[in-house]
Amino acid sequence: METDYNYARIEEAIRYIEANRKSQPSLEEVASHVCLSPYHFQRMFTAWAGISPKQFLEYLNVGYAKRILREERPSLLEATDEVGLSSTSRLYDLFIHIEGMTPGEYQSGGTRLAMHYLFSPSPFGEVIIASTSRGVSYIAFADEGREDAVQRLRNAFPFASVTEQEDEHNQNAANVFRLNWSDVHEVKLHLKGTRFQIKVWESLVRVPAGHLTTYHRLAESIGNANASRAVGSAVADNPVAVLIPCHRVIRSTGSFGQYHWRPERKAAMIGWEAARFSAQA
């Protein structure tokens, strides 16, 4: 997958542009920084984002983020007791069903759980996707290599049986990352988390691609407006990268803030989704 192969350069370009925003680096400067000709860099970036680097930068400024927060519909994060939640855009309709692990499974670190994993390319780098018989339980970026990614999976579920193998659930999720949505109607998640964490994650998947929210609004959506700090911790503990879109949570000031998988990747994901799915829709 070409976008996955080029993502490291995309991320480095975003890092460079952000670090030199005041001087407004030219296309030639950014291309030189990532060791490409201006022509090839422009072509690569546009193939990845769907728009030019200059247009992409418009989605990464605080003013844009504040506008999206202002224009966000009040009902976007409407609280619900239903388990099945939907995240939609003009280009896809992905239904995410969340099921929590039983207290025994949660407390035992996965004892008696059989987990299958595979590696998949994505527009933001390679990911490891692990699932049980009931759904996807873990997605993480394999930034430090596949061996390290598998070890981190084993650390998260120390007593589970972990095998590299495709199954219906991890393959369904992989199709989403490969942008192959034609056969994906539902992605099932089987998550290890407290009731509070799962409630936050359920609310998170209601934030559509191309939109943004804040920790305070998430807290309001679960009926506890004073729980912003606890909500922030639940967001940080998200075990399923991208499909539970913690990258769509930003500060109320409009700044993107930190991200477990590096702030440059968060900026890349926000900009990519804004370009692809049009937050103005």
Contacts 24+ apart (CB under 8 A), 137-141: 137/101, 137/189, 137/190, 137/191, 137/192, 137/239, 137/240, 138/239, 138/240, 139/173, 139/239, 139/240, 139/241, 139/242, 139/243, 140/241, 141/241, 141/261, 141/265
Query: Minimal CA–CA distance to 174: which of 137, 240, 120, 243?
Result: 120
Taking a C-beta distance cutoff of 8 angstroms, is the pair 44, 35 a contact? no
Task: For residue 35, indicate whether it is catalytic.
Answer: no
Q: List all residues 6 or more positions away from 244 whose beta carbon is below 8 Å from its beta carbon.
A: 189, 201, 204, 205, 238
Q: What's the token pair of residue 173? A: 């999720």
Q: Which of 10, 96, 189, 246 is catalytic?
A: 246
Tokens of residue 128, six digits:
């490891």
Task: Give exposure, 92-110, as e/b (b: 16+ Cβ within 10 Å).
Answer: eebebbbbbbeeebeebeb
Residue 191: beta bridge partners?
Answer: 100
Per the listing, tokens 């390319």 go with: 121
In order of 118, 168, 170, the CA distances from 165 in angstroms are 6, 10, 9
- Active-site positions read 246
